Amino acid sequence: MKKVIPFILALSLVACTVAGCGDSQTDDPSDNPSTRTITDSVGRTVEIPTVVEKIVPLGNTPRMISYLGLADKVVGLGGMNASNVTPVTAYAYANKDVWANVPLVGTDAAGATDYYPEEIISCDPDVILCSYTKELADEIQTKTGIPVVAVPMGTLFGTDYEDALRLLGNVCGVGARAEAVITYINDCLADLATRTAGIPDQGKPSVLGAAATFKGMHGLDGVYTKYAVFEVISANDVTEGLSNTSGALLIDKEQIIVWNPQYIFLDSGGVGLVRADYNDNPGLYAQLTAVQSGNLYQYPSSTSYYSNLEIPIVNAYYVASLLYPEQFSDIDFSQKANEIFSFFLGIDNYLSILESAGAGYGKVTLG
């Protein structure tokens, strides 16, 4: 027994030496760094806090961060004046109460980018998020002294939207939600594409997206080209070949008579202009098959301060259910629409909100 005790004591001394007995324990700061480095979408290396709690989103990022459930982290906001927010700007409308007292620190109204460095600094964000160029991101960071992370602006239904959501999820610590949003989007798009893939071209009615919203509202002569809402459902778009890029432009209304689409879908914001034009020129509209057959419809604009995402997905289901009723016979449109809105916005029965604002889905009558 006498030999055992010294052996135990010796082990204890060794253990104390290894563990540092008698010294105060301190964590190596490198084990818990306060900052980390990321590379943004324009190739900039940016040092950001390890944990981001306060953000200032500019450009199209306010919409994106709202989809990621980050609205309550916003301390300054780029966007439109709260008094101009409508249900068609769904992300802002859904967060109007959360952002009621959040200062406006930038705007991109009518395509003109502006930001206010002093106001941004006073908000004391951990990071500024934007969808701008490298030069503008560098400029904002230099003037504010706050890390700026640039993400893609996001093409409607494009992979760059995924890249933007994924990068924002990484920066703000909500990677799981970002992946969930990306998966949900892709599941919806795959469902739409699968249902419409086998329809022969000769069996597809012709369609036109008009009263397009771009730099304001337009009447019948404002049309969408290579419209993602139509492309995802393989619609027979009469503007095929008009442009090589997705967008909207003004055309001569006589061209619409030449095309004579069987279905015309109008952005809800432009319906008033179409009705006013009809009153001035009813003869033109009387020549259109879509008007004669009662196939003139409205849906909310896909664009309101950059492109929406949830509304275009719902629009695609709406258009597809009218063009291809057999392929979508198992879909209750109202139920599907509210499911989509709830996922992105966290609001039940958003359809009723759109309808109350005159921006719902339905037939349009003229005269």
Which domains are assigned to the chain? 35-173 (3.40.50.1980), 201-363 (3.40.50.1980)
What percentage of the chain reaches a pLDDT higher than 70? 91
- Residues in Cβ contact with 88 at an 8 Å cutoff, skipping those fewer than 6 apart: 268, 269, 300, 301, 304, 308, 311, 354, 357, 359
Segment 345-350 shows an average pLDDT of: 96
Mean per-residue pLDDT of the chain: 90
pLDDT grade for 125, boundaries at 50, 70 and 90 = very high
- pLDDT bracket for residue 6 (50, 70, 90): very low
CB atoms within 10 A of CB 18: 8
Give me the pLDDT at residue 108, please: 81
**pLDDT band at residue 246, thresholds of 50, 70 and 90?**
confident
Q: What is the pLDDT of residue 357?
A: 96
Q: State the average pLDDT over residues 260-282.
A: 97
CA distance 209 to 327: 21
Helix intervals (H) in the chain: 4-19, 61-67, 90-94, 117-123, 134-144, 159-172, 175-196, 228-231, 253-259, 271-280, 282-286, 289-292, 310-323, 333-345, 350-356
Predicted local confidence at residue 10, as pLDDT: 42
Where is pLDDT greater, at 169 or 202? 169
Mean pLDDT for the stretch of residues 102-118: 86
pLDDT the model gives residue 184: 98
Q: What is the pLDDT of residue 304?
A: 82
Per-position DSSP letters for 84-138, written without gaps between them: G--TTSHHHHHTTTTTTTPPEEEE-GGG--EE-HHHHHHH--SEEEE---HHHHH
* Averaged pLDDT for residues 67-87: 92
Confidence class for position 176, pLDDT limits 50, 70, 90: very high
pLDDT band, residue 244 (cuts 50/70/90):
confident
State how far the Cα of 56 lies from the Cα of 54, in Å rounded to an integer.
7
The whole-angstrom separation of Cα 319 and Cα 296 is 11
Answer whether residue 23 shows pLDDT above 70.
Answer: no
Mean predicted confidence (pLDDT) in 72-76 = 98
Q: Is the pLDDT of residue 185 over 70?
A: yes
Q: Give dist(CA 306, CA 329) in Å, integer.
A: 32
Region label for 22, one of left (φ > 0), alpha (ψ between -120 and 50) or beta (otherwise):
left
Question: Do residues 52 and 173 lie in contact, with contact meaning Cβ atoms separated by under 8 Å?
Answer: yes
- The per-residue pLDDT for 7 is 36
The pLDDT assigned to 111 comes to: 66
